[in-house]
Amino acid sequence: MRKIIMDCDPGHDDAIALLLASRSDDLKILGVTTVAGNSELENTTKNARKILDYAGVTDVDVYPGCDKPMMRSLYRLTGAIIHGEDGLGGPKIPEPITPVKEEHGVDFIIRTLRESDEKITLIPTGPLTNIAMALIKAPDIKEKIDRIIIMGGAVMDPGNITSAAEFNIYVDPEAAKIVFASGCNIYLNTLDISMKAVFYEEDIEALRAQGDKVSDIVARLLDFFASTHVKHFGFKACPVHDALCVGVLIDENLIEYQKTFLDISVNDPLTLGETVADLWGITGNEPNCYISTKVDQKLFVKMIQEHMKKPYHSK
C-alpha cells in the first residue's frame, strides 16, 4: 500500500483526484493539505472537506496550508472563472461535517514525513507553496519523499493562464523554482497531456448512468467544469488535470515520461511561470524531473468511471 499526501486547491479536478485516491486499493491517504489557488484557502479547505465527507471519507483529515503564494499576492481571477466563485461551482454539496485540523498543512507534511518509517509520495495539484515551504523549513524531509507527482506547467503546448504559463506554476512561480531545485524525485504532469486526457460528453453521461451517489456528483461537477471550458476556451471536452497524478500510481501505463532538466521563469513578465524544459540537453544541466509526454485517454476515463462507483473502505 503506497502512502500518499494530497496537497490541493479544490477545484473540480482536485476533488476528483481526492475521490480517485480514496477509492484506490493501492493508495493510503495519510492526510490532505490545502493551499490557496483556484480559490482562497478558506474555500479550498472547505471544498476538500465537503467532497471527502460527501463521499464518506470522514477518516482522512484536512490540514489548511498557506493562504497566499510565497512572494506574490494570490491571483484570484481565473480560478473563479473556471471553478466558480467558491472554487467548486455547480452542484450543491452539503456543508462539511468533519472539522478541519488545527495543525498547519506545512507542519503536517514535515511531521508526517519525519515520523514515517517508509517513504511517502507527495501529490501536489495546486500551486506549490506548501511543498516549497516544507522543503525550506525542513530540508531533511527530502530523504523521506519517494516522489513528488505534480500537476503543472506546459512544455510543448501553450499555457492556460498566459500563453506561456500554466495556472498552478503561474500563481507561485518561486515555489515551483524551489521545488524543482530541491533534488527530489519529481514527475511533472503538464497541460501537454491533461488537455488530451479529457472527458467527452458521452464519457460524462456514462458516469452519470452508473447511478451511484459519487458517480453522479462527479458527473455534475464535470458538467460545470465542461461548461466553463466551453465558455472560456471554446473547448468542447473536459480536462481532469489533477486526477492524472493519482491515476499514474494506479496504472503506470497511463502516462509516459521523459527525463529532462526543467526550470521556471520568474523574472520576465512575458514568460512568468513558464516551465522551460531542456529536451535536447543543450544546457548540460543534470535532469531534475520526469515530464509527461504521452497519456492514454481511454484508460483514464475508464479508470475514473470504475473507481467512482466503488464503495469507500477505510485503509
Q: Which residues are catalytic?
A: 241
Figure out which of the listed residues 13, 53, 172, 203 binds ligand RIB, where binding follows CB under 6 A.
Answer: 13
Q: How far apart are CA 189 and CA 138, in angstroms?
A: 25
Figure out which of the listed residues 24, 33, 38, 275 binds ligand RIB, where binding follows CB under 6 A.
Answer: 38
Q: Is residue 14 a contact residue for ligand RIB (CB under 6 A)?
A: yes
Rounded to 10 deg, the angle between the 213-233 and 41-54 helix axes is: 140
Of the pair 39, 144, the CB lying nearest ligand RIB is at 39
Minimum distance, C-beta of residue 294 to ligand RIB, in the bound complex (Å): 19
Contact residues for 302 (Cβ-Cβ < 8 A; gap 6+): none
Figure out which of the listed residues 44, 168, 260, 275 binds ligand RIB, where binding follows CB under 6 A.
Answer: 168
Cβ atoms of residues 242 and 13 within 8 Å? yes
Of the pair 144, 159, the CB lying nearest ligand RIB is at 159
Figure out which of the listed residues 126, 127, 152, 173 binds Ca ion, where binding follows CB under 5 A.
Answer: 126
Figure out which of the listed residues 4, 5, 6, 9 binds ligand RIB, where binding follows CB under 6 A.
Answer: 9
Q: Where are the beta strands (DSSP E) in the chain?
A: 2-8, 27-34, 62-64, 120-124, 145-151, 186-189, 198-199, 238-239, 255-260, 262-264, 275-277, 289-295
Q: Taking Cα atoms as reference points, which of 16, 47, 69, 83 lies closest to residue 266? A: 69
**Other CB atoms within 10 A of residue 226 CB:** 22
Of the pair 27, 245, the CB lying nearest Ca ion is at 245
Figure out which of the listed residues 11, 31, 69, 273 binds ligand RIB, where binding follows CB under 6 A.
Answer: 11
Minimum distance, C-beta of residue 6 to ligand RIB, in the bound complex (Å): 12
Exposure on the CB side of residue 242, measured as CA atoms within 13 A: 25
Of the pair 14, 203, the CB lying nearest ligand RIB is at 14
- Choose the one of Ca ion, ligand RIB, none that binds residue 160, judging by a C-beta under 5 to 8 angstroms depending on kind: ligand RIB
Of the pair 24, 228, the CB lying nearest ligand RIB is at 228
Q: Scan residues 238-267 and list those touching Ca ion (CB under 5 A).
A: 242
Figure out which of the listed residues 4, 5, 11, 178 binds Ca ion, where binding follows CB under 5 A.
Answer: 11
Minimum distance, C-beta of residue 211 to Ca ion, in the bound complex (Å): 28
Q: Scan residues 80-119 and list those touching ligand RIB (CB under 6 A).
A: none
Contact residues for 312 (Cβ-Cβ < 8 A; gap 6+): 22, 23, 55, 56, 57
Q: Taking Cα atoms as reference points, which of 211, 195, 189, 224 lies closest to residue 305? A: 211
Q: Is residue 182 a contact residue for ligand RIB (CB under 6 A)?
A: no
Q: What single letter denotes the amino acid at residue 103? A: E
Cβ atoms of residues 258 and 290 within 8 Å? yes
Backbone Cα Rg of the chain = 18
Q: Is residue 229 a contact residue for ligand RIB (CB under 6 A)?
A: no
Residue pointed to by grid coordinates 529536451: 279
| Residues at the site binding ligand RIB, with contacts judged by CB under 6 A | 9, 11, 13-14, 37-38, 125-126, 151, 160, 166-168, 241-242
| Residues at the site binding Ca ion, with contacts judged by CB under 5 A | 9, 11, 14, 125-126, 242
